[in-house]
Structure 1
Amino acid sequence: MKNLIFSFLIGMCAIGGFAQTVPNQKASSKLISTQIVEIACGECQFKMKGKDCELAVKIDGKPYFVDGKGIDDFGDAHGEHGFCNAVSKAEVTGEIVNNRFKAKEIKLLPTKK
């Protein structure tokens, strides 16, 4: 019986050690600090798969849906110059986590005329 308990405890320690080597969610994140990016509707402008018009940013050429800000937070997305009809530039700060951009700040930049 003692050998069985000892074997069980050794096995649990081995499993616990293995669990610590699995990457956690933080390992798959990337901080973004005041970077200039493209911003638009992910579905309409960046051809991302989604269920509805949703705000997205392109960081280093890769599009990410945005959490923390909505597509209509900057005006009518379906207006003439809205995110569904045009790609704009923005300065962003936040974090990429699990292939989504968690926005802390988004500052739209003036469009060139």
Structure 2
Amino acid sequence: MKKNIFFIFLTCTLTLSAQEQKDKPKTQIVEASCGQCQFGMTEKKGCDLAVRIDGKPYFVEGTSIDQHGDAHAQDGFCNAIRKAEVSGEIIDNRFKVTTFKVINENPKKDNLKKHD
């Protein structure tokens, strides 16, 4: 009887674990920038956050260009194409973001070690 209960418990645990992994969107590194200024997208007016996945740009839904610093700064999305770690999915030709994290490509000089 104890073996049967253990077997049922183990089967349920493995099934739930497999379902959780299947539902998580994959994380990937993409190019992120202003869709209009850097990717040449014309479907919308103004400046909007976009990502480029496999060479194709998609406007982002779930976060905005202004949530990631000054878009018009020297390294802002309207003036530079940055790398971002994202998860989400493409639905109706838009990237519905679950997570979005800009990758710091230019560390401050203070953090760099000097070699003698």
* Fraction of identical pairs, as percent: 58
TM value normalised by structure 2: 0.68
Gaps of 5+ in 2: 1-23, 108-116
Does the alignment pair 1:103 with 2:97?
Answer: yes
Aligned residue pair count: 83
Gaps of 5+ in 1: 1-30
Does the alignment pair 1:46 with 2:63?
Answer: no
The structure showing larger relative contact order (alpha-carbon pairs under 8 Å, at least 6 residues apart) is: 1
Q: Determine the structure 1 residue equivalent to 2:59.
A: 65
Q: Determine the structure 2 residue equivalent to 1:37.
A: 30
| Residues 32 and 92 in structure 1, CA contact (< 8 A), matched pair in contact too | no
Please list every run of at least 4 consecutive aligned residues from structure 1 whose deviation after the TM superposition is greater than 4 angstroms. Answer: none
Q: Determine the structure 1 residue equivalent to 2:81.
A: 87
Q: Distance in 1 between matches of 2:27 and 2:76?
A: 22
Q: Distance in 2 between matches of 1:60 and 1:33?
A: 15
Q: Which one has a larger percent strand, Structure 1 or Structure 2?
A: 1
TM value normalised by structure 1: 0.69
Q: Distance in 2 between matches of 1:72 and 1:32?
A: 24
Paired letter, 1:46: F
